[in-house]
Amino acid sequence: MPTGSLALSMLGQEARALLTRLARIKPFALLMPTVTAAAISPVAQAAIEQYLASGRHKLRGLVGKYLKWLHGYGGLHATPAEAQRRFTFLRMRFNAVLTQFDIFSDVLVQRSEYENGVWLSGLDALAADALGLPGEYYNAPPVVCYLDRGHGAAIRRARTRLPGGGENPVAVIRVPRERMVGSGIASSLVHEVGHQASALLNLANSLRPMLRGMQRNNSTQQIAWQLWERWISEILADFWSVAKVGVASTLGLIGVVSLPRAFVFRMGLDDPHPIPWIRVKLSCAMGRVLYPHPQWDKFAQLWESFYPTAGLADEILQLLVTLEASMPGFVALLAHHRPNTLKGASLIEAMSIEERQPAHLAAYYGAWRTDPMRIRAISPSLVFAVLGQAKADGTISPEEESRTVAGILNYWALRSTVARSAVFATAPRKCACGAASGLQSKFIMTIK
């Protein structure tokens, strides 16, 4: 049955309307009223713009093919139901393009917020530094941060599938707004960075066979090793955070999981996170191995005083005892794991933890108090490690901590902006063929 003229006309208009709405989606470079210091890096901007432009281009092609089919032999001899079915898939694809646009819009629109926009640029610098490792173990993707409600952070990792298909071109980290601004933000942010790093190094998959072996060989602690395997992805992210920012990670974690008692001891069968009470104890255990110091026992005991185990059901109490008994062996296995991706190095060796020992961090802070400008000479993750240690030692007030974090985030944002400007100012404008070269050409292509 030939497609009715009314159906043909209506669907053709709807398809053309999709094209008009698609044309209204502009590159972010033309939309965002952001001060220069708040902008994301050109690499991240180009990656996002290119990805979204490619999606729009593909969709325009699909709509064009549909219109050609609709007004050609196929459409004229198809049923209205068949024509509608094909259009429905086009509209779903259009909504997927909008969803992907909104994902990055949530990130970029906040860059126009007063102060927050510049601080987010500073957090981008922290995230990039926390993702780095000495040695060429992987190619780190660009990272961009944004704020949202809630008390926990989250990451949409680079090179994972986006809604509607396609690989995410950048890592997008959601930071809890309630943590702005203080050293505790580093705990949440670097934990999420740890998820990206763990995926790049394939750490969880390389550890699972070893954890299953421990389950077979430890009948009395089998349940504990089963749970360590279940929770390994989140534990690796916590390990990364402790390794990068030291006790700031543990103190920040305590802030996140300080919940009503029932939640602190609850174990969800589908929850990838360790039981909150165990998670803090495990963070302290990792700190003892990475950075030996009495402070870890102090904070573990503090946590126990906040949430004593007296009165728990026998089965929960026994599980906690079993997990704690297996914890030293588990942390040693984790710290000394040598995945192929680290080219023979163990995790503890690859993290370069020497300068983050508590005594060194305290010395850094002492030097800053006589010469505040020294804070600018060290890496962003090390800055937060120093601030976290000062907080643990009781040598910095909350007010001073907040002022210091705000100031250094502003500095990192401005430093990144100046560095980018210098690169673009000195980069060759034209290649022999007359085209803009390097990153400039990639970025320009996204706004055509």
pLDDT one-digit tens code per residue, 108-119: 888 888 888 899
Structure token digits, residue 368: 């800053």
- Average pLDDT value over all residues in the chain: 88
| Nearest to 190, CA basis, from 138, 110, 146, 252 | 252
pLDDT one-digit tens code per residue, 311-364: 999 999 999 999 999 999 999 999 999 999 999 999 999 988 999 999 999 999
Give dist(CA 308, CA 317) in Å, integer: 11
Per-residue CA distances from 325 to 144, 254, 285, 295, 328 (Å): 39, 21, 12, 20, 7
Is the separation of the CB atoms in 74 and 43 below 8 Å?
A: no
Residue 161 has pLDDT above 60, yes or no: yes
Confidence of residue 237 (pLDDT cuts 50, 70, 90): very high
Residue 446 has pLDDT above 50, yes or no: no
Predicted confidence at residue 233, as pLDDT, reads 97
Average pLDDT for 415-429: 67
Give dist(CA 114, CA 117) in Å, integer: 6
Give dist(CA 349, CA 399) in Å, integer: 36
Write down the residue that tokens 């997990």 correspond to. Answer: 323
Predicted confidence at residue 165, as pLDDT, reads 82
Predicted confidence at residue 425, as pLDDT, reads 56
Average pLDDT for 426-436: 46
Predicted confidence at residue 384, as pLDDT, reads 96
Average pLDDT for 422-443: 48
> Rg of the chain over CA atoms, in angstroms?
26
State what percent of residues in the chain have pLDDT above 90: 58
pLDDT one-digit tens code per residue, 23-52: 888 888 887 777 888 888 889 989 999 999
Give dist(CA 282, CA 179) in Å, integer: 22
Start-to-end CA span in the chain (Å): 43
Structure token digits, residue 431: 């290649």
pLDDT one-digit tens code per residue, 278-295: 999 999 999 999 999 999
Predicted confidence at residue 434, as pLDDT, reads 40
Tell me how crowded residue 165 is: count the other CB atoms within 10 A of its CB.
11
Predicted confidence at residue 284, as pLDDT, reads 98
Tell me how crowded residue 205 is: count the other CB atoms within 10 A of its CB.
12
Which position has the higher pLDDT, 426 or 171? 171
Average pLDDT for 213-240: 93
Predicted confidence at residue 436, as pLDDT, reads 40
Residue 386 has pLDDT above 90, yes or no: yes
Average pLDDT for 72-87: 87
For residue 173, the cross-strand partners are 145, 155
- Strands 143-148 and 171-176 turn out to be parallel
Assign residue 69 a region (left: φ > 0; alpha: ψ between -120 and 50; beta: otherwise).
alpha
Confidence of residue 422 (pLDDT cuts 50, 70, 90): low
Q: How far is CA 114 from the centre of its chain?
A: 23
Is the separation of the CB atoms in 122 and 37 below 8 Å?
A: no
The upper half-sphere exposure of residue 129, i.e. CA atoms within 13 Å in the direction of its Cβ, equals 20
Q: Any idea what the Cα angle at residue 15 is, between residues 9 and 19, rounded to 5°?
A: 140
Is the separation of the CB atoms in 384 and 193 below 8 Å?
A: no
Give the strands of the sheet with 171-176, arranged side by side.
Answer: 143-148, 171-176, 154-156
Is the separation of the CB atoms in 39 and 45 below 8 Å?
A: yes
Which amino acid belongs to residue 254? Answer: I
Average pLDDT for 130-152: 88
Confidence of residue 432 (pLDDT cuts 50, 70, 90): very low
Residue 127 has pLDDT above 80, yes or no: yes
Write down the residue that tokens 């400007």 correspond to. Answer: 421
pLDDT one-digit tens code per residue, 85-104: 899 989 898 888 888 888 88
Predicted confidence at residue 290, as pLDDT, reads 97
Residue 152 has pLDDT above 60, yes or no: yes
- Strands 154-156 and 143-148 turn out to be unpaired
Give dist(CA 117, CA 112) in Å, integer: 6
Confidence of residue 442 (pLDDT cuts 50, 70, 90): very low
Predicted confidence at residue 440, as pLDDT, reads 45
